[in-house]
Structure 1
Amino acid sequence: MAERPSDEPNPDSGSAISDEVWEKFVQDSERDIHATAPKEPSARARVVTRRLREQDARGAQPEGWRTGPAWREMDGRAARRRRLWAIFGVPLAIAVVVVANKPSLLLGDTPGSDAGVPEAIAASPLPAETAAPTAAPSEMAPVTPTLERPFAGSPAARWADGAAGIVLPKATAVGSWSKAEVEQALRQTKALLVDANLDPATLRGERPETALGVIDPIQTDLVDLLDTALRKPDKKHDPLWMFSRYDPAELRLAGDVVKTRGRMTFEAGKDASVVVHADFTFVYPFVRTDGSTEVTRTIIRRVLDLEVSDPVKYQVTPGKLFVARYDQEIGNSACDVYDGYFHPQFSTGEQVGPLPTGPTMDPYDRSEVIDEERTDDCGVVSRT
């Protein structure tokens, strides 16, 4: 601790140093000294660093991240935008920095715990999301997921299971629309989300009849696109833009739980319509069907704007939803592969698709809006 000079005024300076100013100077000085002092990594940090380097030397592959198109179909005009984000793996340098600066994230710390937090607390369910988060979830302990604990080391461990994570807001009357009519639109939106992202048959690649049945058939361009995508997927007709699917010949879910988190809101739209906005992230734990027990996770965030308009005034189908926008970001699925299925990367598996060249993103970060103007880039996920 530095010694404070006498409280006597300095006749040369013409002023005294107050207690508050001097205390702040001492605190700032000590903080700067600690910040700049060299620190030797702990023994456990060195062990983790060595393990990560050995994993990198074995050719462990990263995961993929990609984004799909936002759909616009207004006033009879359709404009389709497609965006791709594919990411492969956590860079070694990032992992080393995290371990060196936060020893509580070491592999040897409390097996099964998250970032040193007691397991009972780390696994306690989060309350439903009612507003956009202000930041990404905290870093978790790098625990290896298993068949028994497929969400270990993931923020999704505290998320709701499946459809329980799609919580409907309390319906109220909007303009000329009654409370019952708004509630119907909300329930239809949930039915679409559940069938498109959680139904076991849809996930296995079967036709999502419930979700398709909710969409207004007057959107012929969208209906035709989705129909083609489900029958014969390619780069311009990708069912992953709307539906979550994997090839059961290659993958199976590790357990029967898909984690879900997000929120649904509604408001008055243009031309006396009601717009339902849905923003949800789904986390799928996968294992290969070749006998391997390694578990990896694919994360997809979906954003939809669905409209209900007055059929007396506008050319719409009563009881159906008009898809004004659908957009998505997929984490840990090979980019530039267009067979209509997720292709997550496993550390012991072969590389699928090209290596990513874009920036790094956190697939669990729900605090940022999906940029509708971004380009088709392949990037890297910071974690899965």
Structure 2
Amino acid sequence: MVTERLRQQDARGELPPDWRRGPAWQEMDGRAARKRRLWTVIGVPVVIALAAVAVRPSLLFGDFFGGVEPGAVSASPLSAETVAPTRAPGPVDHEIPTLDRPFAGSPALRWADGEAGIVAPEATPIGSLSKAQVEQALQQTRKLLIDANLDPATLRGERPETALDVIEPQQTDLLGLLNTALSRPDEEHDPLWMFSRFDPDELRLVGAVVKTRGRMTFTQGKNAAVVVHADYTFVYPLVRVDEGAHEVARTIVRRVLDVELPDPAKYIVTPGKIAVLEYDQEIGNSACDIYDGFLHPQFSTDEAAGATPTGPMMDPYDRSQSIDENREKGCRFVSRT
């Protein structure tokens, strides 16, 4: 009935010239974004070292998530990740992170800085889609990742407008969930499922750098689409905003994301938008079972917050294993931060 009505409207010239006769995005096998809950919120490290740290007064002030990163010790950067690693990063020197060297003692010291670590592969035509269309899907995916995980406004809890804007508007369930999560977070609506956020009244980023490592690939989808798969880990060095605070804690967030861009010549889609198919995450060093919409790294001088970590230990830097979507809800210790 709907098809016949559209045909008659088209014959009478009642439809806009750019309408498509193919099925709408929602009709593609009835698919929508599958919400993967934050089943594993990772707790504090098994061993937290205490050390006296000399503090430079000039580092205690400044804009939240702003400024220039303090002089970091140079380290040979890793080459870009083009295939899945086969093992976790090796051990590094047991150094305490400081305001001058927030990534000391972390494998992330050799990772890329921020956006430089999110590199899209070279686009090629795939199926009925041109090279330009594939490139558009890759760049929109990159834009979503950057705004959701690296943009200073997003990190301090502001609305990630750019990330939300690239998502297909027909994904009303997903967008509704994310909008609710951003305005009224709770256990069933958690913005941390998609976005990295810290409470600016409690924390600030140390310097201006978030370390990033991962890869992006693409393949042909079954809906005359290109499907982009992204798997990235972000390492955030943080310090309390209290005057005189100098202890640095790191939170590690791994995000896995699958999006698609269908052929607009065959499906009714919104030009330039991507549909989120799946999203998942693992978080290292953030208090468990707190649903205020912010990540809460554990400092050695803090009293334990949230639920007590239980279950097997994990290495948040290990990118060789896929995120287990069948894992039980729980809170685990991490072996390092």
Please classify the TM superposition score into its range, dividing by the shorter chain length: 0.7 to 0.9
SS of equivalent residue, structure 1 residue 342 = coil
After TM superposition, list the pairs within 5 Å mapping 1:93-112 onto structure 2. Answer: none
Asked whether the equivalents of residues 36 and 278 of structure 2 are also in contact (C-alpha less than 8 Å), the reply is no
SS of equivalent residue, structure 1 residue 270 = coil
After TM superposition, list the pairs within 5 Å mapping 1:1-384 onto structure 2. Answer: 75-76=29-30, 78=32, 79-91=34-46, 123-291=75-243, 292-384=245-337
**Which amino acid is 1:252 matched to?**
R
Asked whether the equivalents of residues 83 and 375 of structure 1 are also in contact (C-alpha less than 8 Å), the reply is no
Shift of 1:85: 1.9
Larger radius of gyration: 1
Report the Cα distance in structure 1 between the residues aligned to 2:92 and 2:301, rounded to whole angstroms: 22
**Which amino acid is 2:280 matched to?**
D
1:114-143, CA deviations, whole angstroms, 9 ceiling, x for partnerless residues? xxxxx98x8110010000001000011110
Q: List runs of 5+ in structure 2 lacking aligned partners.
A: 1-26, 52-71
SS of equivalent residue, structure 1 residue 84 = coil
SS of equivalent residue, structure 1 residue 156 = helix
Q: Would you identify which runs of 4 or more consecutive aligned residues in structure 1 move more than 4 Å?
A: none
Report the Cα distance in structure 2 between the residues aligned to 1:212 and 1:83, rounded to whole angstroms: 19
1:332-380, CA deviations, whole angstroms, 9 ceiling, x for partnerless residues? 0111000000100000112110111121100000001111111211111
**Which amino acid is 1:340 matched to?**
G
Name the residue aligned to 1:33: none
1:33-66, CA deviations, whole angstroms, 9 ceiling, x for partnerless residues? xxxxxxxxxxxxxxxxxxxxxxxxxxxxxxxxxx
Report the Cα distance in structure 1 between the residues aligned to 2:182 and 2:28, rounded to whole angstroms: 24
Shift of 1:88: 3.2
Report the Cα distance in structure 2 between the residues aligned to 1:86 and 1:328, rounded to whole angstroms: 9
SS of equivalent residue, structure 2 residue 178 = helix
Shift of 1:77: 5.0
Report the Cα distance in structure 2 between the residues aligned to 1:87 and 1:189, rounded to whole angstroms: 26
**Which amino acid is 1:342 matched to?**
L
1:62-118, CA deviations, whole angstroms, 9 ceiling, x for partnerless residues? xxxxxxxxxxx97335553424223333335xx99xxxxxxxxxx9xxxxxxxxxxx
Report the Cα distance in structure 2 between the residues aligned to 1:169 and 1:280, rounded to whole angstroms: 14
Shift of 1:319: 1.4
SS of equivalent residue, structure 1 residue 240 = helix
Task: Please tell me the root mean square deviation across aligned C-alpha atoms, in Å.
Answer: 2.1
**Which amino acid is 1:338 matched to?**
Y
Report the Cα distance in structure 2 between the residues aligned to 1:352 and 1:379, rounded to whole angstroms: 14
Report the Cα distance in structure 2 between the residues aligned to 1:172 and 1:313, rounded to whole angstroms: 20
Report the Cα distance in structure 1 between the residues aligned to 2:281 and 2:28, rounded to whole angstroms: 20
1:154-213, CA deviations, whole angstroms, 9 ceiling, x for partnerless residues? 000000000000011011010111111111111111111111100000101111110000
SS of equivalent residue, structure 2 residue 223 = helix
Report the Cα distance in structure 2 between the residues aligned to 1:293 and 1:316, rounded to whole angstroms: 50
Report the Cα distance in structure 2 between the residues aligned to 1:87 and 1:242, rounded to whole angstroms: 16
Report the Cα distance in structure 2 between the residues aligned to 1:173 and 1:180, rounded to whole angstroms: 8
Asked whether the equivalents of residues 83 and 377 of structure 1 are also in contact (C-alpha less than 8 Å), the reply is no
TM-score, L = length of structure 2:
0.82
Report the Cα distance in structure 1 between the residues aligned to 2:28 and 2:199, rounded to whole angstroms: 34
Asked whether the equivalents of residues 118 and 215 of structure 2 are also in contact (C-alpha less than 8 Å), the reply is yes
Percent identity over the alignment is 68
* Count of equivalent residues: 289
More helix by share: 1
